[in-house]
Structure formats: structure tokens, C-alpha cells
A and B are shown apart, each in its own frame.
Chain A
Amino acid sequence: MSRDHIIFIVFLFIFATINIYLFGSGNLSADWTGFGTFIAAGITLSLYSFLYKDNPLFKFAENLYVGVAAAYTLNQIWYTVLLADVVNPLSELEENLSNLWLIVPTLLGLFMLTQLSSAKFSWLSRIAFAFVVGLGAGLAIPRTIAANVLAQLEPTMQPIAATWVGLDLFIILVGVVTVLVYFFYSVEHTGPVGVASKIGIWFLMISFGASFGYTIMARLSLLIGRVGFLLEDWLVLPLPLF
């Protein structure tokens, strides 16, 4: 028996013993809430077991998560979209004939599914995709340019004054210009262009560092959330202990 097998068995034994104690002592209630906490604790520990190395418990928990998330999403879409906006209005056509127009988007949606069928019908999906691409491009292009380009240019071009705000604006202006120079490949990066390009790299590095720092903070927050769950909800410890 390998070391990994022994660790796996010991982990299962400790987990089972703790849960028998928790249920036996009444710290976990013998109902669906208690059972849910027990399952959640097991899945949390299984997922974090990947930090040691890949193992069957991790694979099980990972695949279970994907399945549950897909089923939950399907459930939400069925009840709040398909049933509420398509099935129910179409089944009440006799009372409200104005809902008849819903047949058009419904048919387009069904055409999408023909992609999964044989070549005889799959060409119908192109009509639906053409509609989605056309609508998406028509909506997105002007709005994205307005919000992400034009609206962002305005604060970059404010007059610079000898104040702290003015200094901020100056740094932003230098950052925008030098990073654009760095990504301008039609001119060789030597002389003044090379200097500007190097300054641009520094701005990019600082930006990557800030993103990395925030990412660490985010991942730690998730770990803190799970540790809090394990200590308070599963082990029912009266925090803080000291």
C-alpha cells in the first residue's frame, strides 16, 4: 500500500469520526440542514485536497460541482425564462392573441438546436446565428465605442494643473501615451521611442502587479470563507476561542 493510499484512508477515517461525533453530540442536526453541512464540508475538504496532489476525491467533487451548477442553471432558465416568457404566454393565446409574435423568437431558438441534428436540418441554425450575430454587433459596436473609448478619452485629456489632481492626470496621460507607444510596432523602439516604450513597460508591470495583488486578495477571501464555514458551521466552534 503506497503512502498516498494510507493518507487517503486516514483522511476518510478522521472525516467519518468527526462527523459521527458531531451528529452524535447534536452539534449537527439530524435533518437536511445537518446533512447539507456534512456534504458541504466533505466537498470543501475534497477540493482542497488537490493542494496535496490530484486524487479521486478531488475529481469526484470537481465533476459534482460542474453537474450541480449545470442543473441549477437549467432549472433557473426553465422556470424564469422558458416557462414564464415562452410556454405560459403561448399556452394562453386564446385569451391574449398579441402574444402570437413570440412564435418568431421561439422558432429562432429552436433553429439553434438543429445544429445538433443531421446536415438535412442543421442549415436552419445559420438563420438563428445570423440574427444573433447581427443583433449583437449592432448593439455592441456603438455602445462599446461610446463607453470604453470615447468616455475614457475625455478624462485623459483634461487640462493639467500644478495640483495633486493635476499630477494624477499627468501620470495617467504619460501612462496612456507610453503604453500605446510600446504597442506601436511600425517604428523601431530606439532613441526617444525606445525610452517611451520602456516607460510603457514599467506602467504595464505596475498594472500587472496591482492585478496580481488583487487576485491574491480574492483567492484568500474564498479560502477565508471556506475556513469560516468549516470552523463555525461544520465544527460548530464558538469563535473566537481566545
Chain B
Amino acid sequence: MKEFLLNIDRRIIFIFVALGVIIPALTSFNLPINPTPNVQSIYDTIEEVGKENGTVLISFDYGPGSMPEVQPMALSVLRHCFKRNVKVVGMCLWPQGVGLAQQAFDTTSKELDAEYGSDYVFLGFKTGFQSVVVSMGHDFHGTFPQDLPGNNTTELPVTKNIKGLADFDYVLCLAAGNTPDGIWIPFGQERYKFKFGLGCTAVMAPDQFPYLQSGQMNGMMGGLAGAAEYETLVQASGTATEGMRPQSVVHLIIIFFIILGNVMYFLYGRPKGGTQ
């Protein structure tokens, strides 16, 4: 037994994790979700933008690999914007984001009767990363002369008065890579001084906190928990809220295995032949 506990086969842990995800997914117990100040800040900013009938730029910089975490954020933020009559301009610095962004716009615009051109515009993907952001900063129409369907951005009601990034009331980056701290903050926010918020994968979140503390971004949704908090704020429970049940159960399982591993290590030392 001692040898078994000192050298648990990783596949046993996988089975526990799988059961920890599947069983809570089949049940309906609820856990309290309390929005944190960082998520609340994004919500409050969009509320303020709504009062001024303003425009938000959302950059969909993620792909299918991070869809379970970031797509619920996109859906919740779009629902919030359309409910408050905030105009939305969507774009992608990642080519893989185009299909997911289109899906999010289609779903939410149908739900809330948002009209293309007057309520939202989708610009699609543009290659160049920092060059795109720098160029958008001073010449929005030059960088995106046309939207994804091919309409002139100088003629669409949402985009015709946008000259540069500073004309947006809020810029929100939904990211799974280095676009917030590598592109949007150094080449966009720092130069053109617009209000900036972030929704990102949990892996990225720890590296983004310094930008919150410095005020370069005013809010952050981190991972599935951040998405669930935003769903709570907009009172539209979705896949993120549902996902918090298995998430919490598996966290407890992992904490149990970490404690067990440490207790066994301190009681009996390193197992013979190393660990699996």
C-alpha cells in the first residue's frame, strides 16, 4: 500500500479527474459565483459606454484551442453591449479567431435583434500584429478600408466617424496569446491612451496582473472563472457558469492528491526507482 501511494500511476489520477468532470456535469448543484473587482470593472465600463451611446472595439485574438474559456466571455460581453445599445466593432489579430467571432456575433445579434452596420461591424482578420495596431491608431479607415463582407468602413454607421483607436470608448482584447501585453498595450494603449480591458485564458492571467496594477488596463477576466463572473453580472448563465461545478470538484481532487503526495513524501521520502 505504501509503495502504491508513493508511486500512484498517473492514469489513476486521470480517471479521478475524468469522473470529477463528468459527474458534476451530469448534476445540477450550484456554487456561488461572486464577481471580482477586475471583472466588475469591465462590466461598469461597458455600462458607462452604454450611457454615452459609445463604441467598443473587441479584438478576438484566440482560436478553437481556447474556445471553452474565451468564447463564453465573447458571448457575455456582446450580449451586454447589445442590451445597452453599445456599438461594437470586431476584429482579429489571429486568423483562427474569425470563425469564432462570427459565430459569437451571429448568436448574440439574433438573440437581441442587433443589426449589422448600425449596431455592430466585423472587420475580420488583418495580418501584421503591431503594424496593424499602430496603423489603426492614426488611420482606422486606411487600415480597414472594408469590413469582412466587403462594405466600405467610411460608409457604415458604426465605423464612419472612427478616425483612430482613441475614438473608441473602450477597447477589449479577448486573447489566448501575447496580443495584450505584446501588442495592444505597448503599441496601442500606451501610445493612444484609450481605456483597455482584457479577457484571457487562465494560463495568461498571472502575467497580466502587473498591467492592472499600473493602470494600463482597467479590468480583466481570467479563464473560465472570469467568464462565469461576467455571465453572473449580465444575468445570463452559460457554459462558463455550468463549467464551474466540475472545475471546483476537480480542484478539490487535485488539492487532495497534492496533499497526499506531500504527506507520503515527508513520511517515507522519495519512492524507489523514481516517480512515474
Where the two chains meet, the residues of A that have a C-beta atom closer than 8 Å to any C-beta of B are: 51-52, 69, 72-73, 76-77, 80-81, 84, 135-136, 139-140, 143-144, 146-148, 151-152, 154-155, 172, 207, 210-211, 214-218, 220-228, 231, 237, 239-242
Contacts and interface: CB of A to CB of B under 8 A. Distances in A.
Q: In terms of DSSP, what is the predominant structure of the interface of chain A?
A: helix
Given A147-B190, A218-B223, A239 B25 contact: yes
Contacts of B251: 216-217, 220
Nearest to B148: A80
A52 B26 CA distance: 24
Contacts of B222: 214
B119 to A, nearest CB: 22
Nearest to B67: A225
B202 interface: yes
A139 B17 contact: no
Give the size range of B's interface with the partner.
Answer: 35 or more
A148 B182 CA distance: 9
A242 B207 CA distance: 39
B26 A239 contact: yes
B239 A228 contact: yes
A143 B187 contact: yes
Contact of B254 (A144, A216, A226): A216
A223 B20 CA distance: 11
B186 A221 contact: no
B275 interface: no
A240 B247 contact: no
B124 to A, nearest CB: 5
B224 A221 contact: yes
Q: In terms of DSSP, what is the predominant structure of the interface of chain B?
A: helix
A73 B95 contact: yes
A141 to B, nearest CB: 10
A211 B223 CA distance: 12
B21 A224 contact: yes
A146 B186 contact: yes
B235 interface: no
Nearest to A147: B186
B126 A81 contact: yes
Interface in B176-215: 181, 185-187, 189-191, 201-203, 205-207, 210, 213-215
B247 A221 contact: yes
Given A154-B214, A155-B214, A218 B190 contact: no
Nearest to A151: B214
A117 B161 CA distance: 47
B213 A155 contact: yes
Given A214-B202, A241-B26, A143 B191 contact: yes
B98 A220 contact: no
Contacts of A222: 65-66, 68-69
A224 B246 contact: yes
A135 B187 CA distance: 13
A140 B202 CA distance: 26
B174 interface: no
Given A139-B134, A223-B17, A214 B206 contact: yes
